[in-house]
Amino acid sequence: MEALKNKILHEGQAIGSEIIKVDSFLNQQIDAQFMYEIGDEFKQRFQDKQVDKILTIEASGIAIAVCTSKSFAYPPVVFAKKAAAGEVSETEDAFYSYIAKSLTKDTTSHVKLAKKFLSAGDNVLIIDDLLAYGEAALALCDIVKQAGAHVVGIGAVIEKEFQGGGTLLRESGYAVESLAIIEKIEDGKITFKPDNL
Residues that bind its own copies (CB under 8 A): 23-24, 28-33, 35-36, 58-59, 62-63, 65-67, 69-70, 74, 76-79, 81, 113-114, 116-117
H/E stretch holding 135 reads helix 135-146
We find the least distance from the C-beta atom of residue 194 to its own copies, in angstroms, to be 30
Q: Which amino acid is at 21?
A: K
Q: Checking phi first, is residue 162 left (phi over 0); if not, alpha (psi -120 to 50) or beta?
A: alpha
We find the least distance from the C-beta atom of residue 58 to its own copies, in angstroms, to be 4
d(CA 160, CA 181): 6
- Is 112 in contact with 80 (CB distance < 8 Å)? yes
d(CA 13, CA 188): 8
Paired with 156 in beta bridges are 128, 178
For 86-100, b/e burial (b = at least 16 CB within 10 A) is eebeeeeeebbbbeb
We find the least distance from the C-beta atom of residue 35 to its own copies, in angstroms, to be 6
We find the least distance from the C-beta atom of residue 50 to its own copies, in angstroms, to be 17
User: Which residue, 23 or 186, has its beta carbon nearer to its own copies?
Assistant: 23
We find the least distance from the C-beta atom of residue 63 to its own copies, in angstroms, to be 5
d(CA 105, CA 177): 26
